[in-house]
Amino acid sequence: MKVVARLKQFIENQGVSYNSLDVKLGAGKGYIGKQIKNQGSIGSDVLEKLLSQYPELNPKWLLTGKGQMLTQNERTQEECQACVEKERKIIELEAQVRLLKELLQEGKNSASTTRRSA
């Protein structure tokens, strides 16, 4: 699959029109649509602007087809896993805090009872 075909996939994923992308990238009117239709090549200046305007677009995927289309998705999956692990740790620590509070309260009650008896 050529770069231009992956670019078409990205454009469809983003829900933008070819013309609006031409404007955003400062390309000539109809440039993107023409390149996609003719399976042409995209100039390096346009690719640089594209990657600058869409930092979530994975350049490795765009140029080689390897990896995920969106780099943010890769990070998000890693971040999600980290969040799940942190949430588990928080729940564990909250349980420990509750137990310690109960033990502390029992100790206070026991000390209070001991003082009254004496």
Cβ–Cβ contacts within 10 Å for residue 9, how many? Answer: 13
pLDDT at 78: 67
Residue, of 85 and 2, whose pLDDT is higher? 2
Q: What is the pLDDT of residues 21-67, one digit of tens each?
A: 999 999 999 999 999 999 999 999 999 999 999 989 999 999 999 99
- pTM, two decimal places: 0.59
Distance, in Å, from the CA atom of 17 to the CA atom of 64, rounded to the nearest integer, reads 24
pLDDT at 51: 93
What class, spelled out in words, does domain 3-69 have in CATH?
Answer: mainly alpha
- Judge whether residue 77 has pLDDT over 70: no
